[in-house]
Chain A
Amino acid sequence: MLMRVSDYRLFVAFLAIGLPVSAQQEIARVEGGRFLPMYGSVKEQMVEIKTFEMDKKPVTNSEFLAFVKENPKWRKSKVPRLFADEAYLKNWQSDLSFSQAIANAPVTNVSWFAAKAYCECQGKRLPTTNEWEFAAMAGYKQPDERKDSLYTARILAAYETPKTYLKAVGQNQPNYWGIYDLNELVWEWTSDFASIMISGENRDQDQRSLFCGAGSQNATDLMNYAAFMRYAFRNSIQAKFTITNLGFRCVKSADPAM
């Protein structure tokens, strides 16, 4: 028997409710291009970024709750210490509950392993550092506003504001790509956050490059203090760390047919 149109709509609505909330995460398309990241490119070569789709907002506590409901091994009481340290989901009262005040705030105190697993469950992945930096160099109007002093000042001011991890996602102005909160709320995991640190024999040189006077030796843009802070942060963490001001969002390579 054929469904009438209105029945069909009801059916779709029912399906949507049945799915994990996180599946509703809106995505933004980031057109690929070439750019020069602050660190990590070989001999200051431009890096090519292929078009990708990025979650418009950081993953929230509510969205992460749906994930741990379906995947009990990522609950607070179950997760092995190897994959997440003692502070994992520290702000949650129990395996499946947290204060309603932070329901729409970004989930934090999640390890790299947990973030990666979450994205994979959505059929997505964590962005690479270069993808993340590429998306975040957009201002409100341009895909690359790094040379605009207001752009850097705005990001620095956001980094200096305390307790932003408690705020709801999507309240700030989105950037050129329609993406929210890349800098305003929390730091975000990237798939290769440690790559600058553990690139074979460059390890020592690169690791030290973030300290003291050497901090400026390998950098391509000495005035981009905000980027210095992000690279320093990524350099200080390990995959099992869970940190109050560190969350994540997912990406997906764009369908080449699109």
Chain B
Amino acid sequence: MKAKARTIRSILWAIIALTVMSSCNQQKDEENISSKAVHMKVDSRPVKAELTAPPFVPKPVGNRAPQKLIVDMEIIEEEGDLADGVRYVFWTFGGTVPGSFIRGRVGDVVEFTLKNHPDNKLPHNIDLHAVTGQGGGAEASFVAPGQQKTFKFKLINPGLYVYHCATAPVGMHIANGMYGLILVEPVGGLPPVDREYYVMQGDFYTKGKHGDPGLQPFDMQKAYDEHADYVLFNGKVGALTGDGRLTAKVGETVRLFVGNGGPNLVSSFHVIGEIFDKVYIEGGSATNYNVQTTLIPAGGAAIVEFKVEVPSNLILVDHALFRTFNKGALGVLEVTGEENPVVFEGEVLEGIYQPEGPTIQKVPVETVAEAPAKVLTKEEKMELGKKVYNTSCFACHLPNGEGLANAFPPLAKSDYLNKNVDKAIDIVLRGLSGEITVNGQKYNSQMPAQVLSDQEVASVLTFIYNSWGNNGTEFTEEQVRAKR
């Protein structure tokens, strides 16, 4: 009896020990991947690496064996748009901010040629965080204008890595746009998904304030003080909105490779209206599930994946939200397809909340009861309208009706408003979606219906039409009631 119990106990112990050991082994596998990768054989025939401009990424590596990858990258200093009407001299890897996306697998040998265009004024180099060795290649790739350098390295750790220029003054080279991502896929590749995109955040420092037009030089003092004028996805206000928006269809799984070039700010990356099903934390091998917001350090990255279940415009933001609403860190992923009320049914009922009453009285939208109110003078409408504006409208259209390029149309000096006086009430009552053109710019976003009384609607419209250079139309409660 005793002996039997002892045997069972020892078997149990053996099982426990084995389980513990095998999990130790698994962990060791992750930890030792780099020493294994060092000895991986490489097909001797070199293959030219596919490089892509953001927001696109090269084809997945799939099941292929390690190979010799030839990467050719050109550094170009050139003037471009930081926002509509705002110009900036960007320093770029491959002509874009962020630079070209590089994709390989663990065990690949990379022969990297860095070319510094002859018209450039400065020497540059590249520090790839995926490289094990002096400065991530910084010294080996240090190259004068009109010259090129080739250096070689082996990818021994899987993950999503930042690369950047590391020439003095390093902060300035990065602030001017010199960063990008290199993905090192694990053995066998990442699991296939339906869509993959490349998004990278960066902070910019300009002589003028946010939105000041014309060519804006880099402001060293602001960079030193870490007072960013722009915080951007993919190097431009609106790079990922309007025609630049990302797209997906209901039912697809989307994978975003998200980097942060900095130089100064850490990103609280979030997608409004979505939950990340899976996050490769900091771009490494550990995964987390069901995440709302993931932190992306300056000089770091993350891979986020989610299945899109319902049609809507998902908004990519840095959830340090002044960066989103005031400094440009905003992108759109448009999801199209069939509604799925099981997942999201939208607004079902609207009600009047009476804290003093015994129950919440629910009434359908059409029959919202209006308490009779005295007729307001224009001055009173202006006063009330301003209050309404500052609670219901300003978050998107901004305090002076200036709007946000490519996302929220301006209300100030708005040709669209001034020629659509009749439609204005409808827009406030029922919202507006679809493409419109305002002051020559196309907008394609969604404004929700506003829950306001007739008096408030008439007042806020009167306020808007009598401010910021608009045509001075005055609205009455009767007009609003007629449109209900």
Contact = CB atoms under 8 A, between A and B. Distances in A.
A210 B167 contact: yes
Contacts of A153: 207, 217, 219-221
A87 B138 contact: no
B279 interface: no
A228 B142 contact: no
B168 interface: yes
Contacts of A211: 125, 127, 135, 138-139, 142, 166-168, 170
B166 A212 contact: yes
B478 interface: no
Contact of B218 (A160, A215, A233): A160
A18 interface: no
A159 B120 CA distance: 10
A238 B119 CA distance: 18
B239 interface: no
A236 B143 contact: yes
B118 A244 contact: yes
Interface stretch (B144-152, B179-187, B387-395): B144-152
B121 A232 contact: no
A236 B142 contact: yes
Nearest to B217: A157
B146 A244 contact: yes
B78 interface: yes
Q: Please report whether the interface of chain B is mostly helix, strand, loop or mixed according to DSSP.
A: loop
Contact of A87 (B118, B120, B167, B218): B118
Contact of B169 (A90, A162, A228): A228
A77 B79 CA distance: 35
A243 B146 contact: yes
Interface in B106-147: 118-123, 125, 127, 135, 138-139, 142-147
Contacts of B89: 160-162
Contacts of B135: 208, 211-212
A191 interface: no
A25 interface: no
B166 A243 contact: no
B217 A236 contact: no
A23 interface: no
Nearest to B149: A236
A244 B122 CA distance: 11
B217 A228 contact: no
B122 A229 contact: yes
Contacts of A176: none
Contacts of A233: 122-123, 144
Nearest to A232: B168
Given A153-B220, A210-B168, A225-B172, A159 B121 contact: yes
A212 to B, nearest CB: 5
Which among A90, A162, A163, A241 has the greatest number of chain B C-beta atoms within 10 A?
A: A162
Contacts of A225: 169, 172, 220
B166 A236 contact: no
A171 interface: no
A210 B144 CA distance: 14
A245 B127 contact: no
Contacts of B168: 210-211, 215, 228-229, 231-232
Nearest to B89: A160
Interface string A101-124: 000000000000000000000000
A212 B220 contact: no
B322 interface: no
A215 B169 contact: yes
A149 B220 CA distance: 9
A225 B220 CA distance: 8
A159 B127 CA distance: 23
B119 A162 contact: yes
Contacts of A152: 220
A228 B125 CA distance: 15
A212 B127 contact: yes
A162 B135 CA distance: 29
Which among A225, A231, A246 has the greatest number of chain B C-beta atoms within 10 A?
A: A225
Interface string B29-43: 000000000000000
Interface string B396-429: 0000000000000000000000000000000000
A87 B209 CA distance: 41
Contacts of B120: 245
B203 interface: no
Given A241-B146, A243-B145, 6 more contacts: A153-B221, A211-B167, A213-B170, A228-B169, A241-B144, A241-B147
Interface of A: 87, 90, 149, 152-153, 156-157, 159-163, 187, 207-208, 210-213, 215, 223, 225, 228-229, 231-233, 235-238, 241-246
Interface of B: 77-79, 89, 118-123, 125, 127, 135, 138-139, 142-147, 166-170, 172, 207, 217-221, 224
17 contacts: A87-B118, A156-B220, A159-B121, A160-B89, A187-B121, A211-B170, A212-B127, A215-B168, A228-B169, A231-B168, A232-B169, A236-B143, A237-B123, A241-B147, A243-B118, A243-B145, A245-B145
